[in-house]
Structure 1
Amino acid sequence: MTQHQTEDLTQSLLDAALMHVPFDGWSDATFQAAIADAGVDPVVARALFPRGAVDLAVAFHRQGDEAMMDRLRNTDLSDMRFRDRIAAAVRFRLEAAEDKEAVRRGMTLFSLPQHAPTGARLVWETTDKIWSTLGDSSEDYNWYSKRATLSGVYGATVLFWLGDDSPDHHATWEFLDRRIDNVMQFEKVKGQMRSNPLSKPFVSMAERLLSPLRAPQSTNDVPGRQQ
């Protein structure tokens, strides 16, 4: 099977599944209905998505990531402050998820203990793609702290967005700006601690302990490594 055929089948199954997700969630019932509606051989479908609807939900999430990155690459952000570029990226990511109910059902799925690691990895992937697309070049522990911080901001914003019925999700974007402002204030405090004679020794010690951490060298090395 060619790459093009695989992509076509994946999209057909995903499109078919999204018709059933609002009623049955990302479940086996949805997966079986998608196979029937798309007319895909069940053996082929299972080969493409070994975990069935769980892998369909993963594909749905990653499709949103790709749409976000395409929009980031094709939007001139040069006049924006960096914190506003981050806010724009998160907004682009949420706007790429046109089916809010599919996102809601996905969060329900990935909150289950057996699927929580997959959900956490997907959020980490999203934040990594935001930082990487915006040109982050950190190679030390800052690589992790940036993504961990943004993961918290992103997760909180998604939850707010799911319950937001304001025009054009205006309340969500205000919420996002406040969360990023909180992060910037934290970074300011960190900077002040580095210059404060009383706290500087403790900051230096923490940085020495973290200094062996290095950014992953490939997409298959997500946890990173120590030297």
Structure 2
Amino acid sequence: MTSPDPKSALLDAALMHVAFDGWSQATFEAAVADTGIAPALAEALCPRGAVDLAVAFHKRGDAAMGRRFAAEDVSDLRYSEKVAALVRFRLEACDDKEVVRRGSSLFALPQHAGTGAELIWGTADAIWTALGDTSEDFNWYTKRATLSGVYGATVLFWLGDDSEDHAETWAFLDRRIENVMQFEKAKARFKASPMGKLMQGPMSALDRIRKPGARDDMPGIWRG
């Protein structure tokens, strides 16, 4: 096999088997056989087998979402509408619900739940990054945590939605985002209230929380 990207080749081959065998060892072995990639190389690329292919599939969807958003003209959309558009683009990046359903089942397992949460967080981060989010304090975390909840709930609704063009899913998404916007407005009103001003002192500790940054104290890093 001389593919310039053997992991992508494995993923493409695996997708034909996921609907029947899930993201399982059987799927991984079938993908290896279909592509002709040496088993040792396949295992080196995917130490966890099909689990790593499921991770790659999710990240491929995030990348597709970003490319579509960059290509679309969204200049006339309100901020909340841009968030909704990105979530919609993310879901529409996959045209096979069964593949997503099988992935949801996989990452619901206790041994893979941490990976699943990390992937959803990564999608939320990709959305905020595409929107040009510049927050660096505690808001960096709350934005992504809130959107992770919205995205996760919308995925589950979408998986069971058989309405035309998924109209019910997009209505559900709009309601969830509206709930978030109402919460943000309530939070702003609280900060301006007497009680909010009273709590500014105790809450000031949150101002010292910063978003993750690249480590500059690792061995081999030159700071000259």
Tell me the TM-score normalised to structure 1 length: 0.91
Task: Name the Cα RMSD after superposition.
Answer: 1.6
Among 98, 107, 123, the alignment partner of 2:95 is 98
Secondary structure, counterpart of 2:136 in structure 1:
coil
Which whole-Å CA distance do the structure 2 matches of 1:115 and 1:155 have between them? 16
1:8-48 deviation line (CA, Å, top 9, x unaligned): x1222111111111111101011001111111110111111
Partner of 2:74: 77
| From 132, 136, 142, the counterpart of 2:133 | 136
2:203 corresponds, among 207, 210, 222, to: 207
Deviation at 1:174, TM superposition (A): 0.2
Question: Any residues of structure 2 matched to 1:140-179 within 5 Å, and which?
Answer: 140-179=137-176
Q: What SS does the corresponding residue of 2:58 show, helix, strand or coil?
A: helix
SS of the residue corresponding to residue 19 of structure 1 reads helix
Aligned residues: 215
**SS of residue matched to 2:133:** coil
Distance 2:107 2:119 in 1: 10
Q: Can you give the 5+ residue segments of structure 2 that lack an aligned partner in the other structure?
A: 216-224
User: Does the alignment pair 1:44 with 2:41?
Assistant: yes
Shift of 1:68: 0.2
Question: Partner amino acid for 1:110?
Answer: F
Once the 2 structures are TM-superposed, how far is the Cα of residue 196 of structure 1 from its aligned partner? 1.2
Q: For residues 156 and 71 of structure 2, what CA distance do their matches in structure 1 show?
A: 27
Q: Tell me the distance in 1 between the aligned counterparts of 2:120 and 2:135.
A: 19
Q: 1:163 to 1:46 in 2, by over 3 A?
A: same
Q: CA deviation at 1:77?
A: 1.2
* 3-state secondary structure, aligned to 2:185: helix
Distance 1:207 1:77 in 2: 36
Letter in 2 for 1:63: R
Per the normalisation by structure 2, the TM-score is: 0.92
Say if 2:7 is the partner of 1:26. no
**Counterparts of 1:163 and 1:84, CA distance in 2:** 23
- Distance in structure 1 (CA, Å) of the matches to 2:114 and 2:190: 34
Out of 107, 112, 115, the residue aligned to residue 110 of structure 1 is 107
**Residues 53/206 of structure 1: CA separation in 2 closer, same or farther (3 Å cut):** farther
Runs of 4+ in 1 over 3 A off after TM superposition: none
Q: How does 1:179-194 map to 2 (within 5 A)?
A: 179-194=176-191
Distance 1:70 1:206, change over 3 A: farther
Tell me the equivalent position of 2:219. Answer: none
Change (3 A) 1:50 1:150: same
Q: What secondary structure sits across from 2:195 in the alignment?
A: coil
Structure 1 unpaired stretches of 5+: 220-227
CA–CA distance in 2 between the matches of 1:105 and 1:72? 26
